[in-house]
Amino acid sequence: MSISNQKILILGGGSGMGLALARRCVEASASVIIAGRSEDRLQQARKALGNPACLEVTVADIAREDEVAALFAGIGGLDHIVSTAADIEGAYRLLPDLDLKAAQRVVDSKLFGPLLLAKHGAPRLAASGSMTFVSGIAAYRPAARGSVVAAVNAALEGLVRALAVELAPIRVNAVSLGWVDTEIWAQVAGDRKAETLAAMAGRLPVGRVGQPDDIADAIAFLIGNGFTTGTTLHVEGGHRLV
């Protein structure tokens, strides 16, 4: 399925994987809307993409139902919805140090956010359209300090399967990513980011960590393959094997 001339909404499109996907969609002559919480970041993304005529930016917080409803009311019909949004700041903590508000932000951005996107976005989608969300390796290889993220990723994948049934023939899928070199690692590892990623690269069968374009490739497949729904596509360099 070609995405040329299709209309694609990317939540979290201002940076990282979302920005990589936006670039791919713009280059394929799709009509692209990127949304996020930061106007400054969205404008920087617009500039990075060359300010093409086929690109729109809009500010919205997917954890707020009023903003999600307003987002869809303002953009009309769509072919595909993708969310790479995640707020994990402060979530990687051992239980004695865990702040419940930080945990709630993870739930809001990675579980309730997709639920709201489905609630308000599905009526705007073409019958041949799709929704794609981002899960992660923590659901399969949990580690100390990662209990919240592991639980939310697992819950998201359950939601994807349920939505694929309820919203059919609209397709709903997830990409479960491994360690990807994005700015989010500055929150997780701080000034040890490079050292931490290099250590994981040495463990993985592919010999490297992921890049945003790796995830954009996977999402593009799920958008374009009309026979895939209710599926979690694992793009993690073999992390589940080691």
Which pLDDT score, from 0 to 100, does residue 193 have? 87
Which pLDDT score, from 0 to 100, does residue 184 have? 75
Which pLDDT score, from 0 to 100, does residue 192 have? 85
Residues 6+ apart with CB under 8 A from 192: none
- Say if 144 falls within a structural domain: yes
Q: What string of pLDDT tens digits covers the 242 residues of the chain?
A: 788 889 999 999 999 999 999 999 999 999 999 999 999 999 999 999 999 999 999 999 999 999 999 999 999 999 999 999 999 888 999 999 999 999 999 999 999 999 999 999 999 999 999 999 999 999 999 999 999 999 999 999 999 999 999 999 999 999 999 999 987 776 677 788 889 899 999 999 999 999 999 999 999 999 999 999 999 999 999 999 99
Which pLDDT score, from 0 to 100, does residue 185 have? 72
- Say if 208 falls within a structural domain: yes
- Say if 121 falls within a structural domain: yes
- What are the φ and ψ backbone dihedral angles of 178, each rounded to 5 degrees? -100, -145
Nearest to 238 by CA among 198, 193, 207: 207
- Cα–Cα distance measured from residue 229 to residue 131, given in angstroms and rounded to the nearest whole number: 9
- Cα–Cα distance measured from residue 81 to residue 109, given in angstroms and rounded to the nearest whole number: 15
- Say if 201 falls within a structural domain: yes
> Which CATH number belongs to the domain containing residue 171 in this structure?
3.40.50.720
Q: Is the peptide bond before 169 cis (omega within 30 degrees of 0)?
A: yes
- What are the φ and ψ backbone dihedral angles of 195, each rounded to 5 degrees? -65, -40
Note the pTM of the prediction, 2 decimals: 0.95
DSSP-assigned letter for residue 95? G
- Cα–Cα distance measured from residue 23 to residue 210, given in angstroms and rounded to the nearest whole number: 17
- Cα–Cα distance measured from residue 120 to residue 63, given in angstroms and rounded to the nearest whole number: 13
Rounded to the nearest angstrom, the gap between the alpha carbon of residue 96 and the centroid of all alpha carbons in its chain is: 29
- Say if 2 falls within a structural domain: no
Domains identified in the chain, total number: 1
A 10 A CB-CB count for 165 gives 10
The tokens of 174 are what? 């997830």
- Say if 1 falls within a structural domain: no
Q: Is 221 helix (H, G, I), strand (E, B) or coil?
A: helix
Which pLDDT score, from 0 to 100, does residue 129 have? 97
Helices (H) and strands (E) in the chain, counts: 9, 7
Containing structural domain, residue 92: 7-241
The CA angle 88-17-10, to the nearest 5 degrees, is: 90
Which pLDDT score, from 0 to 100, does residue 121 have? 98
